[in-house]
Each structure stands twice: as structure tokens, then as C-alpha cells.
Amino acid sequence: MKKDVDNMSVEELVAWAEEEARSPYLRSHPLKDRPLRKDFEGKVTFTRVWNHEDDFLYDYPFLTEDEVYKEDNVVPDKVAEKVVVDEVVEDRVVENDVVEDRVVENEVVDMVTDKVVVDEVVPDRVDDRLVDNVDDMHDDAQSDGNIDDVVLARSNVPRDTGLTIKENTNPPVSSDFDSESEDKNDRKIEQKQGNYEDDQDAEQTNDEDDNDRPEVVDAAGPTGLGPLVRQHEKYMEALVKQLKGNGVRIRDLFSIVQKPNKDDQYPIYDDQTHWTLKKPEGKVALVAGGDSGIGRSVCYHYAKEGATIAFTYVKGDEDIDAKDTLDIINESKMEGSVDPIAIPADLRYDKNCKNVVDEVIAKYGGIDVLVNLPAVQYYTYSYSLDEITEERLEKVFRTNIFSYFFLTKHALKHMKEGSNIINTTSVLAYNPDPPSWLDYTSTKGAIVSFTRGLALHLTEKKIRVNGVAPGPIWTPLQASVLNDEDIARFGSTVPMNRAGQPYEIAPSYVFLASEDSSYITGQVLHPNGIALKHLHVTAYDNTRISATILNKSKSSVGAKPDQQSFGLDNPPVMGKVALVAGGDSGIGRSVCYHYAKEGATIAFTYVKGDEDIDAKDTLDIINESKMEGSVDPIAIPADLRYDKNCKNVVDEVIAKYGGIDVLVNLPAVQYYTYSYSLDEITEERLEKVFRTNIFSYFFLTKHALKHMKEGSNIINTTSVLAYNPDPPSWLDYTSTKGAIVSFTRGLALHLTEKKIRVNGVAPGPIWTPLQASVLNDEDIARFGSTVPMNRAGQPYEIAPSYVFLASEDSSYITGQVLHPNGGVMVNG
């Protein structure tokens, strides 16, 4: 449950902050080199620390301004013996109240694990990196504000170097502390030579009276991460007092304690700023064509999620629809949300689009989400191009694509980093038929290319651009252009033999407007053909939802959806049993975490012996994150390369939970070699890669399907390398990923009658232990630099795609692959 930290007492806040800081939400890999240090308006810094004792990342806040400590009963400025110079933290040692720069002049190990012992502090090992010329390295780092040069310096020093940190636990002078221990201020760092064994005779600088005092370790973490500061109540009291005095909400402070940096070079499994699948709360959304159809449903869903809505409509033709949509938004919006506005406009012309944007800016001050939906379509019963007149051609293109250019051009002047543009194309852009619709289908193809090109253009501005390509959907457009015969068979050609509803499409727009799709740009989602029961049920009895229930159409032929299907009040995977194959680390761990947060029951597999510690960590994360009252998770050791083992896994899940609602296939093994020759791929390696990466998918799916009911989901993990396979020495790995794409599509078609959906996720470059194990230092340094976003993604940016595909928000999506890949263009 989320905490109302603004209303906590200092004691409650201290206890909660301590608990949060120690929670194992994040876990690092020893080869990953970047710390998280966030400066909150110059008042507090968050330092991520890696404790090898339990192998978890911790984020600790510590104050940065001396003035903070000048008040009574406040810990003075010697809490942490660290000096921040141009964002570079240097190690300092206090001896007789004199700060000296270094203890070891020419041999300082730059990565020491943070292990706290009250009476004796001895790090359990040191990374294999040694800085030979400390002065030069630190001078360089100070000059350019970058510590990476220090971090990346290497030598062959063994891990257990015996670098001993002796803790100065003498508290700073304060009326609440025993000042007699002031003369014990003798923190020492000793570097032993020879066999690098730990110094068992290390001097003890604490005594029993010091147990109450704040413990400070002035040792760099595995990457020079900074101090580990266990908060004392007085220290936290100072923190709270100072921040509140500066008008900082305590909720804001602690909401970013665990906030990851997307550039961090180690796996991050959760972004604590993400609470549920959807988060457009507080955003201003301009929905062009929001009066009816999919647009109305987008407005409704955005309003339910806390966004401020402006939408356009055609004056005269759509006045009643616009009024109905305003009523729906006002009834649905969050308490305290800003009122929506409806703007009449003919968007075929540049000037009108500028006026729309100007009105939104005058009303709300900015635009965070632009949704382009305008479309006009002429249906004729001739299959001749002669039906398409010049007048019709201009009207269709002006409405369907010119308006997108005009609105985007003017809106971009007011859109900041983190904004989103979502364009609406169609399945007909990929399967254009019949010829008499070529004007309409051509505009939809134009929108696909417009989306991709614009996404590449805006990556530097960190504005994401994506599209949605619906299949056959019940909207007033169909009612106005189709005859009774075509209405009767509308949607019958898709695998599930029915048309979709606007409420099944709108969640795709919510997903793309949220940070849950933060590593997706230039892509198109394809909700185009499946039918499932509705999980998110809330009463909504407004009978004027003409865009959704088609009550104005004389030929609705019973296609009206259940009016109770509106709403997003339940977590998206609440109550589902999920089997996550390969859930112990990387993307799999983040999927387990997100599923647990959303109410699912989790079983995951791991490789016994190799991944025991990872499995234990993931169990801890799930148990800390799962909803109150949720069933405990289980971790199942298994070698999934063999059919019998996969059957045993499924049998164990069924014995424990009675069924499987979601099967997530993630197992993968990859060999990285520096030769570009196929000779690297031996028969033994080939069999291991294919057995792990694709045979396991067949085996698990075969056995799980015996226990999966209507409404279940299978999610397979492929890769961007299935579409862009390189280099040749990876051909075994990339070939398995291509096999997974075809497996996903074929299985989806096979299971449509059973109403089980099958989809895939094709991540781009993502920081996981797999990369750390197969890449060399040079490749790690440039990992992710070739994608348009110019960075690798994090597991927490990928996991929401698995939540989306396991939920009813993707109920009309099957046989598709999502592409969280940093902007690489792959789908057709």
C-alpha cells in the first residue's frame, strides 16, 4: 500500500524510511558501473549503495548543505566524511580533526563494497579495478565532472585485497550525544600487501556505548558510489525539518528514494514512481477527434486516470456527440481534476489547427499528450478507382493526414521533454482492401511512416511518438458507411470472428501516454482481433454513449458491448496465477515484481546451483511487494531444456495453485564471441541455445495449455535481433528469436477459438545480467548507443509491456509483438 508520508510523525517517517532503504527492490551486477545520485533542489542527495553482504542496492539520502546542521539537536556536518566536487565523490579520512585527501598515495582500490560492522568494519571483497595514479585520475575527474575514468581503470588485482576500513563511530558534537568519545575520531584505512588477506587484528574504534549513534562508512561502493549512512533519528529530523522549511513535500522526497536512472549500467527492476499500469495523472491531453468512437473512449480512460482533457469536434455535425463526451468526462474525472473543454474545429486547415492549440495553451498552459484521431472514409460498392474523385481525395488526405501534420507542428512548440504523440493508423495500412478504399488506406500508410519519421526526429528532445492500428472496431464511422449486409459480417474475417469495441482500444493510448512505455517510440500497437471477458467492471449507465454502443445506428445487429465493461478500478492482473519461466533475474525478475504489485500469484523458475541466490532475492522482492492477502510465491528449480522437466514445473504449479492464467516464457542463453565466423557455433552450442531459447517454450506451453482456460494469456520473449540479426557469430541466438516470433503468431491463430491470447515482447538493448556475462568492457561502454534513444533500457521499462499483455487492456490484441527497443524501426 502507498504511504501517506506527508502526515507521518517524524518517528513514523524515520522507521518507514529505514525500512524502505533496506528493501531489496533493486539488485546490481558487479560489472555495472554507474551510481544513482539525485540532487533534490540542492537540499538532499540520494546515493545508491551496493552491500555485498546481502547483494542488494540501497538508496540513502544525505544532506549536502552545512547550514542544515546549524540548528539545535541536529547532527552537524561530520555525519558523512564525503566531499562532493563537481559531482565527483572523493574519499577523505579524518585524523585529529584534519581532513587528508588520501591514505594510499599510489594504490587505491576504487570499488569497495559497503559492509557495516559496528565494532569492526571490514569489506568482504574489492572489485578487480585499481587506479595506479590516483592524483592524475582524480584531477581528471574533477576537471570534467565525470568519475567514469576512475571507474573504468582496470588492473589484475584479485578481489579479496584485504582493504580494511576501520570505522570512526564517534558522533558529531551535539547535546544528545556523549562527547567523551570525541578523541576517538581515528578512522583509518589500511591497505595490506602480499596475500591480501583480511586484517583480523584490525583496531576496534567503537565501544558498546556507541551503538546508538549513526554509523557512517566512508568507503566507495563497487563504483565509487558514496557513503552508506544509516539514519539516526536526529539526522532524519534535520532532514525532514529542513525540507519542510523549504516547502518540499515529504511525499516527493521519498517517492524518488528508489527512483532509477535510465542510464544506470546495471539492471533496475522497478521504478518506484510507477504504481499501476497507467499514469497520465496530471497530464494535459489534446485529443483531436475525441467526440465519438475511439476518441471518446480515449477521453474517458484518460479522465479516469487523472488527465486534463481538451478534445476537438466538427461543429454542427457532432455537437450532440461533443456534449455527451463532455458529460462522460465530467462524470468520470478524478476529484479535483480540471474541467475539460470541447473545441469545434475543421482540422483540414493549418490555421484552424493553430487556433485549437492556442486555445488549449491559453486554458491549460501546455500539452503533454497529443492524440491524433481525425478520419473520414467513403465506402462504395464499386471496386474501381474511378470512384475516387479529386475532391474526395483532397478531403480524405486533408482530414486523415494533413491535420496530423498541422496539429503536431503547432503543439510541439509547447511540448516538453517526456511528452507523447500518439497517431491513429489502421490495420488497413498493412492489408489495404478493397481498391475503392485506396484513398483511406493510403492515408493510414502515410500515418505509419509519419509516426516513424517523427519519432526519430524527436528522440533528442525526449518526446516519444507511437501509433495505434486498430482492426475492425464498432464506431459511428462504420454505422455511417456500411450497409446492413456488411454490418452483419463486420469483424468476421479476424481470427476471433468479431469486431472490437472502443473500450478495448483506448487502453493502448493510455499505455503509450504513460511511463510504462518509456522505452517504446516509433512503434505501432495492433489491437486487431480477439474477444475475452471483461475484468475491469464498474457501473456506468449513461445511455448516451453513442460512439460505443451505437444506439444511434439502425443496424447495430446486436453488436452492443456490455455497458458494465467500462472502468479501470481493479489492478490489471488481480487474482491471476502467473508462471514466469526464467523469473529469477533480469526482465523476468521485473515481471515478477510488477505482477506481484498488481495482485497476481507468482511461480517462477530458475537454474539450480547457478541462480540460487537470484531466486532467493526475487522471492524476497515478491513477498515485500505483493498485495496484502496474496498467496505466497514459489520458486521452482528446473532445467527447461527437457520436456520432462517442463512438465514437472507445470505439475508443481497446478498442485500449488490449481491453474495457470498467464504463462511468460523468458528463458534465454547467448554466447558472445569476437569472431565473425560461423565456425564459432559448434553442434553442442547450437543444441544448448535452441533447447533453452525455443524448445523450452514449446514444452512449457504444451503442458500449461492443459490447465489454461478461456481468457488466459501466453507471452513470449523474442528480441529486436530477430528483426535485425547481427553479428554472424550470434546467428544461433538470433535464429531462436526469429523462431519465437513465428511461434507466437502461429500459436495465436491456433488458440483463437479457445479465446486464449498469445503475444510477444521484443526488447532492444536492456541492462540485464546476460549482458554483463557476455560483453567485454568496450561493448558495455557503448551498449545501447546505436538505438535512436541513445541508451540501453532497464528491466522496469520492459516489464509493464508484460502487464499490459496479461491484462484486459489488451483484450483485442493477439499474435502481435510489442517493441520496447529505444526507437528501432522493425515492424512492417
Label residue 726 by pLDDT band (50, 70, 90).
confident
The one-character DSSP state at 317 is T
Are 813 and 702 part of one and the same domain? yes
Q: Is 276 within a domain?
A: no
Chain-centre distance for alpha carbon 605: 22
Closest CA to 745 of 726, 722, 725, 721: 722
Cα three-residue angle 517-521-525, rounded to 5 degrees: 70
CA distances from 805 to 272, 495, 741 (A): 21, 18, 15
Torsion of CA 473, 474, 479, 485, to 10 degrees: 80
**Residue 74 is placed in which grid cell?**
541536529
The one-character DSSP state at 625 is H
Of 519, 540, 565, the residue that ends a domain is 565
The DSSP line for 507-550 is: HHHHHHHSGGGTT--S-EE---S-------------TT-HHHH-
**Full 3-state SS string of 53-97:** CCCEEEEEEEECCHHHHHCCCCCCCCCCCEEEECCEEEECEEECC
Label residue 504 by pLDDT band (50, 70, 90).
confident
**Residue 793 in contact with residue 763, Cβ under 8 Å?**
yes
Residues in the chain: 828
Q: Cα(254)–Cα(6) distance, rounded to whole angstroms?
A: 10
Give percent helix, percent strand, percent coil of the chain, each to the nearest 5.
Answer: 40, 15, 45
686 or 16, which is more confident: 686
> Is residue 95's pLDDT more than 50?
no
Residue 36 amino acid letter: L
Q: Is 397 within a domain?
A: yes
Are 49 and 139 part of one and the same domain? yes
Beta pairing partners, 762: none
* pLDDT at 13 (0 to 100): 56
**Residue 88 in contact with residue 99, Cβ under 8 Å?**
no
Label residue 570 by pLDDT band (50, 70, 90).
low
Question: Picking from 137-151, 303-317, 769-783, which range would have the lowest pLDDT averaged per residue?
Answer: 137-151
* pLDDT at 12 (0 to 100): 63
* pLDDT at 718 (0 to 100): 94
Are 702 and 809 part of one and the same domain? yes
* pLDDT at 727 (0 to 100): 67
Instruction: Tell me which residue range forms the domain holding 710.
Output: 577-818
Question: Picking from 52-61, 493-502, 642-651, which range would have the lowest pLDDT averaged per residue?
Answer: 52-61
Are 92 and 138 part of one and the same domain? yes
The DSSP line for 702-760 is: HHHGGG--TT-EEEEE--GGGTS---GGGHHHHHHHHHHHHHHHHHHHHHTTTT-EEEE
Q: Cα(350)–Cα(346) distance, rounded to whole angstroms?
A: 9
Are 598 and 733 part of one and the same domain? yes
**Residue 756 in contact with residue 704, Cβ under 8 Å?**
no
* pLDDT at 491 (0 to 100): 80
**Residue 572 in contact with residue 806, Cβ under 8 Å?**
yes
Q: Is 609 left (phi over 0), alpha (psi -120 to 50) or beta?
A: left
**Residue 511 is placed in which grid cell?**
499505455
The one-character DSSP state at 402 is I
Label residue 659 by pLDDT band (50, 70, 90).
very high
Chain mean pLDDT for the chain: 68
* pLDDT at 820 (0 to 100): 93
The one-character DSSP state at 394 is H
Question: Picking from 56-60, 151-155, 717-721, which range would have the lowest pLDDT averaged per residue?
Answer: 151-155
Q: Cα(530)–Cα(759) distance, rounded to whole angstroms?
A: 12
Residue 286 amino acid letter: L
CA distances from 403 to 295, 366, 394 (A): 15, 19, 12
**Full 3-state SS string of 415-473:** CCCCCEEEEECCHHHCCCCCHHHHHHHHHHHHHHHHHHHHHHHHCCCCCEEEEECCCCE
**Residue 142 is placed in which grid cell?**
574533477
* pLDDT at 341 (0 to 100): 98
Q: Is 228 within a domain?
A: yes
Are 618 and 521 part of one and the same domain? no
pLDDT digits (tens, 9 = 90+) for 457-471: 899 999 999 999 998
730 or 702, which is more confident: 702
**Residue 86 is placed in which grid cell?**
563537481
* pLDDT at 466 (0 to 100): 95
Are 288 and 147 part of one and the same domain? no
Of 210, 239, 255, the residue that ends a domain is 255
**Can 733 be counted among the known catalytic residues?**
yes
Q: Is 266 within a domain?
A: no
Are 549 and 636 part of one and the same domain? no
Q: Cα(489)–Cα(484) distance, rounded to whole angstroms?
A: 9
Q: Cα(529)–Cα(757) distance, rounded to whole angstroms?
A: 10
Are 362 and 386 part of one and the same domain? yes
pLDDT digits (tens, 9 = 90+) for 682-708: 889 989 999 999 999 999 999 999 999
Label residue 77 by pLDDT band (50, 70, 90).
very low
* pLDDT at 662 (0 to 100): 98
- Residue 189 main-chain phi, psi, to 5 deg: -125, 125
* pLDDT at 472 (0 to 100): 83
Closest CA to 510 of 272, 307, 342: 307
Active-site residue (options: 733, 796, 802, 812): 733
> How many separate helices (H) and strands (E) can be counted in the chain?
24, 27
Number of domains within the chain: 3
> Is residue 382's pLDDT more than 70?
no
CA distances from 652 to 191, 576, 633, 657, 700 (A): 51, 16, 12, 9, 12
Q: Is 713 within a domain?
A: yes
Q: Is 391 within a domain?
A: yes
Q: Cα(775)–Cα(591) distance, rounded to whole angstroms?
A: 24
Closest CA to 130 of 25, 53, 66, 220: 220
Q: Is 223 within a domain?
A: yes
* pLDDT at 772 (0 to 100): 66
Q: Is 381 within a domain?
A: yes
CATH number for the domain including 710?
3.40.50.720
**Residue 791 is placed in which grid cell?**
541508451
**Residue 216 in contact with residue 62, Cβ under 8 Å?**
no
pLDDT digits (tens, 9 = 90+) for 579-602: 999 999 999 999 999 999 999 999
**What is the DSSP pairing of strand 369-372 with strand 284-288?**
parallel
Q: Cα(266)–Cα(35) distance, rounded to whole angstroms?
A: 9
Residue ranges in 145-279 assigned as alpha helix (H): 148-152, 233-245, 250-255
Of 501, 536, 565, the residue that ends a domain is 565
Are 539 and 588 part of one and the same domain? no
Are 611 and 507 part of one and the same domain? no
The DSSP line for 687-699 is: HHHHIIIIIHHHH
Are 547 and 493 part of one and the same domain? yes
Residue ranges in 114-175 assigned as alpha helix (H): 134-144, 148-152
Q: Cα(219)–Cα(114) distance, rounded to whole angstroms?
A: 7
**% of the chain residues with pLDDT over 70:** 57
**What is the DSSP pairing of strand 577-581 with strand 369-372?**
unpaired
